[in-house]
Amino acid sequence: MLLQTITSGAQPVTKVAGGYYHSLFIKGDGSLWGMGANGAGELGDGTSNFRTNLPEQIVVSNVTAIAAGFEHSLFLKSDGSLWGMGYNSSGELGDGTYNSTNLPEQIVASNVTAIAAEAHSLFLKSDGSLWAMGWNEYGQLGDGTYSDTNRPEMILASNVTAISGYYHSLFLKSDGSLWAMGWNEYGQLGDGTYTNTNRPEMIVASNVTAISAGCCHNLFLKSDGSLWAMGWNQCGQLGDGFGGSNTSNKTNSPEQIVASGVTAIAAGGYHSLFLKSDGSLWAMGNNGYGQLGDGTYNNTNLPEQIVAGGVTAIAAGYYHSLFLKSDGSLWVMGYDNYGQLGNGAYGNTTNRPEQILAAYNQISGRLLSGGSVRLSFVGIARANYALDRSFSLAPPNWMTQLTNPAGSVGALVFTNTPDPTTNNFWRIRAVQ
């Protein structure tokens, strides 16, 4: 006999971001969570702890977008405000100082619609204007100089629709054109040269729909679902069948990698991920830490399928990868020395996808033999939960029956035998 099922407080993961050695994600309730390196305060948890290997909540609600940079983080709230935390020695937080901070601080009060972060920061406003701040050694801010700035400066006044950056910057305009500026030693700008530029230059005239900047390579999608790449290819990260120890394996012009059916892209340090329209996850490039998730530590210069279906979002860090499934579960693979996988360990790299947060579930109850009831719940991995009982709700008198830790993916089960002669009310709550 299945008892009544009720909705739990567990929330699906809706967005993910991979930084250099830390990771961020948002849940369905708008809460912001982080794990991994925190030496510069990039998790924004108010501590000086060097790292954490389990997800911790940073902001309770209203977060709508995230960007994980080198050692800093940016996020947006539902009111359009821009917030930042972490490393700030080049002014990447845009707060007018060069001081790092371990707590979120508001940078712009309203009208911000999109963000991107690496060692510098980019953001868009609702009027389509492009703004930048931070490190500018290679001209990646696109302001015509090679000087850092600790205040947001407007680069373009309108018509910008998407942004991405690493040691260089990419952006799209409303006409589908792709533009780039910054570091170009490996041809990653795709302009046919290997020369840096501190002003935006057009790379593709139209039909580009998505962009992702890696360390030394770039990916983009066209409206026909085709995947294109340019830049360094030593690890096979372009997925064109070339690569290897020969550093001449690079291209300074866009080349088509997949002809159609690609829906999302993520360029990491030296690896690449993409999704197809059937929900399958594909990967190529550097795999020294298992970040491709194929069960090996071997690089590959051709796309290989990692998950057959059900994947809805992807993020690529420097040496690690994250993805979401349609059930709201969070999965990771790759380098974990700083706890960026969030699996409770340090230094245990994994070359297979590992579930960190379980599927968005409901509290469910099942009547067992002998009158026992089993309650199943999905919470936060390894957090402690108590099962409480009250004989009445007017008023309630909650009495703790059992306390259990959730498993490595947040799942836990309580079994207890209610008194059949009384009305029993039950709750599951988090405990310290």
| Mean pLDDT to the nearest integer, 20-39 | 96
pLDDT of residue 388: 83
Residue 379, helix vs strand vs coil: coil
Residue-wise pLDDT tens digits, 207-258 = 999 999 999 999 999 999 999 999 999 999 999 998 876 555 899 999 999 9
Q: In what order do the strands lie in the sheet with 51-59?
A: 13-18, 22-27, 32-37, 51-59
Query: CA-based diameter of the chain, in Å?
Result: 82
Phi, psi of 25 (to 5 degrees): -150, 160
Q: How many CB atoms lie within 10 A of CB 430?
A: 12
> How far is Cα of residue 273 from the mean position of the Cα atoms in its chain?
13
- Under a CB-based contact definition with an 8 Å cutoff, are residues 282 and 220 in contact? no
Tokens of 267: 């360029």
Phi, psi of 369 (to 5 degrees): -65, 150
- Under a CB-based contact definition with an 8 Å cutoff, are residues 49 and 38 in contact? yes
pLDDT higher for 35 or 426? Answer: 35
**Please, which pLDDT band fits residue 6 given cuts at 50, 70 and 90?**
very low
pLDDT of residue 2: 34
pLDDT of residue 8: 43
Q: How far is CA 355 from CA 30, 134, 161, 325, 410, in A?
A: 21, 35, 33, 10, 10
Q: How many CB atoms lie within 10 A of CB 419?
A: 10
Task: Tell me which residue of 235, 408, 233 sits closest to 319, measured CA to CA.
Answer: 235
d(C-alpha 414, C-alpha 406), whole Å: 10
In this prediction the pTM is 0.85
Phi, psi of 337 (to 5 degrees): -60, -25
Whether 4 has a pLDDT exceeding 50, the answer reads no
- Under a CB-based contact definition with an 8 Å cutoff, are residues 66 and 26 in contact? yes
CATH 3.40.50.1370 fits 12-357, yes or no: no
d(C-alpha 133, C-alpha 122), whole Å: 7
d(C-alpha 18, C-alpha 118), whole Å: 10
Residue-wise pLDDT tens digits, 287-335 = 999 999 999 999 999 999 999 999 999 999 999 999 999 988 899 999 9
Residue percentage of the chain with pLDDT more than 90: 75
Residue-wise pLDDT tens digits, 67-112 = 999 999 999 999 999 999 999 999 999 999 999 999 999 999 999 9
Whether 138 has a pLDDT exceeding 80, the answer reads yes
- Under a CB-based contact definition with an 8 Å cutoff, are residues 173 and 160 in contact? yes
Identify the DSSP state of 253: E
Residue-wise pLDDT tens digits, 349-377 = 999 999 998 765 455 666 677 777 777 77
Residue-wise pLDDT tens digits, 143-159 = 999 999 999 999 999 99
**Architecture of the domain spanning 362-431:** Sandwich (2.60)
Domain ranges for the chain? 12-357, 362-431
d(C-alpha 315, C-alpha 15), whole Å: 9
Identify the DSSP state of 245: S
pLDDT of residue 131: 98
Whether 191 has a pLDDT exceeding 90, the answer reads yes
| Mean pLDDT to the nearest integer, 171-180 | 98
**Please, which pLDDT band fits residue 1 given cuts at 50, 70 and 90?**
very low
Residue-wise pLDDT tens digits, 379-430 = 767 778 888 888 887 788 888 888 888 877 677 787 777 776 776 777 777 7
d(C-alpha 271, C-alpha 274), whole Å: 11
pLDDT of residue 3: 37
| Mean pLDDT to the nearest integer, 11-20 | 93
Task: Tell me which residue of 37, 31, 4, 1 sits closest to 18, measured CA to CA.
Answer: 37
